[in-house]
Amino acid sequence: MEMKNMKVSLSGVELQNPVIPASGCFGFGYGMAEYYDIDILGSISFKGTTREARFGNPLPRVAECAAGLINSVGLQNPGIDEVIAEELPKMRKVFHQPIIANISGFSIDEYVECCEKIDKEEQVAIIELNVSCPNVHGGGMAFGTCASSVGEVVKEVKKVASKPLYVKLSPNVTDIVAIGNAAVEAGADGLCLINTLLGMRIDIKTRRPVVANRMGGFSGPAVFPIAVRMVNQVAHACGVPVIGCGGVSSAEDVVEMMMAGATAVEVGAANLVNPYACKEIVENLPDVMNRLGIHALSEIIGIV
């Protein structure tokens, strides 16, 4: 079988393949490195990081569903300074590909401070701005559901960040293209979508919500068709590279997401079900490409 070209480029950052574990589903990588050589991955989007350390939301914070799961972890992380001092060096010992830093915040000031710090770290290649968190300066609304809020935070972060900036979009909106365009007009170099949908489960025996926070982010195979649709809309309308995410669990899913318009693809909940999910996808991609007559993955980006 001929060697398949799986290389892709995100705003000048070359990846050996398009497979990226999604933020929050792979930690900082080194835990997974005990199971397989994670250097086979295209990149890793590390755990969502905020200014202060966060313990996260009360337990229980995960609910199983028929074709996915609901999580309300609440951005548990050690804080930006600890990530830079401790986590990145540990990550670098086992992972030598480009790293994506997922940055979150509860105010524009926090986003700017965290991005300014992480931008100085040479091992970080791309900043992924998670705008799906509550905006405490705006009455508890999520940044990512309002085009003007997205534009404002991106504009301020671009003043301090030299690395490519990818904005991770919330699907909990009526018009994903409007939000994507707002991010791009404010200076975003690329977009990542989708983040989780808002979901809820109720324990009918206890008559209480399964998750202590009542509701949480719904992810897994059930959201894949929604993600493909949104990626396709945004890729055609917004004119920047897109990282596709949401329910991806096979090499075929990666190809479908790329045909929809994604340049690279993040794998989230599948890692929680099968720790080898990303490894298997990378290994299976050449066979799928061969079966479909694809010589280079770059050929199929946005062909639909």
Residue 96 in any domain: the answer is yes
> Alpha-carbon dihedral of residues 104, 110, 112, 117, nearest 10 degrees?
-80
Average pLDDT, the chain: 94
Is residue 207 domain-resident? no
187 found inside a domain: yes
Range of the domain at 222: 8-55+73-199+217-300
Residue 64, in any domain of the structure = no
Please name the residue ranges forming H helices in the chain: 80-82, 88-94, 108-119, 147-158, 176-185, 224-238, 251-260, 270-273, 277-292
138 — phi, psi (to 5°)? -130, 35
Q: Which residues contact 272 (CB under 8 A, 6 or more apart)?
A: 25, 69
pLDDT in tens, 249-276: 999 999 999 999 999 999 999 999 999 9
Q: In what order do the strands lie in the sheet with 242-245?
A: 19-21, 264-267, 242-245, 190-193, 165-168, 124-130, 99-103, 44-45
Question: Is 65 within the bounds of a domain?
Answer: no
- Number of domains the chain contains: 1
Residues 6+ apart with CB under 8 A from 72: 57, 61, 62, 211, 212, 213, 215, 216, 217
| Residue carrying the six token digits 């972890």 | 73
Percent of residues, the chain, with pLDDT higher than 70? 96
Residues 268, 219: Cα–Cα separation, whole Å:
8
Residues involved in catalysis: 133
Alpha carbon of 252 to those of 172, 188, 279: distances in Å?
26, 29, 14
In a domain, 204, yes or no: no
Determine, yes or no, domain membership for 84: yes
The domain that contains 129 carries what CATH number?
Answer: 3.20.20.70
pLDDT digits (tens, 9 = 90+) for 91-141: 999 999 999 999 999 899 999 999 999 999 998 999 999 997 655 455 445
pTM score = 0.96
In a domain, 163, yes or no: yes
Give the model's pLDDT for residue 35: 95
